[in-house]
Structure 1
Amino acid sequence: MAQTVKINVTVNGKQYEREVEPRLLLSDFIRHDLGLTGTHVGCEHGLCGACTVLMDGEAVRSCTIFAVQADGHEIQTVESLGTPDNLHPIQQAFIEKHALQCGFCTPGFLMTLVDYLGDNPNPTEEEIREAIDGNFCRCTGYFNIIEAVKLAAQKMASH
């Protein structure tokens, strides 16, 4: 039997205590142990951004962090952003500006941008391009994503 470590982690406001193998990735813990499949795994090297979640409010690549490193921390996944009846402004903006196609990369973009817009509520287009530089999309060409970020910034400023 493999060695396990007890962790306590809060995910989307809910406290979890689990025994995990030390080598278990946070992305796998979120998806497989907790059943929160909105966090996607693409490259498994932290390059594509699909697995981005917030750890203590900061965007991190969950495929490059072990679950044991999340012990005692607050994690937010895309499931925490809104509900079908009350979308987060970034979710609504992605819909309104047609900023997604297949949707695989979308959760990572959303979580990256929630953190980014919290720090920079009025970004320029160049700043938006820099903010999403580490998130890859194979479908959209990024134009509509940039437009969605501009709209989300406006929506968030008016709330």
Structure 2
Amino acid sequence: MPSSNPNSYIEHITDIEAPIDVVWKVLFDVNDWEWNKWTRLEANSIPAEGVKGNLNASYDGNDEWETFDFNFGEVSSKDYILQWLGSVGPSGCLFSGVHTMELEVISEHKTRLIHSEKFGGLLPALGLGLPYETLDRNYLLMNESLKKFVETKVIDS
């Protein structure tokens, strides 16, 4: 789904040496993302479509957080999809983001993480609103951190 605008879409794909149910359990527990120093989701209930929460973003992974409102989009334990949505302005005309983390089975003991965000609105079109290159880097770092956490702390314990 890449676009000609480099600020409109980010995607990173990472293979994790763990069964899909193990990776899903860690990913789905959004209130305990100890593996993630760039993004923290805070929700008052388990993730489900329409549930509101706060997203805390640390662009440098240094515990300096910027907070945004979000709603969960598609959440499916059957299809292993966790999605959250944010927007600014009427109908997201200034900014919208659809952030998706989806898991696929590669084999009984290997899972593929597809981590993406699609941006829309005036600000991304103009390259404004967020540090898109930093986000691109951070989403890759998130994938690598989740992989390391699951493969070393979860699988090895």
Asked if these proteins are the same fold (TM beyond 0.5), I'd say no
> TM-score normalized by structure 1?
0.29
> TM-score normalized by structure 2?
0.29
Structure of higher RCO (CA pairs closer than 8 Å, 6+ residues apart): 2
Q: As a proportion of its length, which structure holds more helix?
A: 1
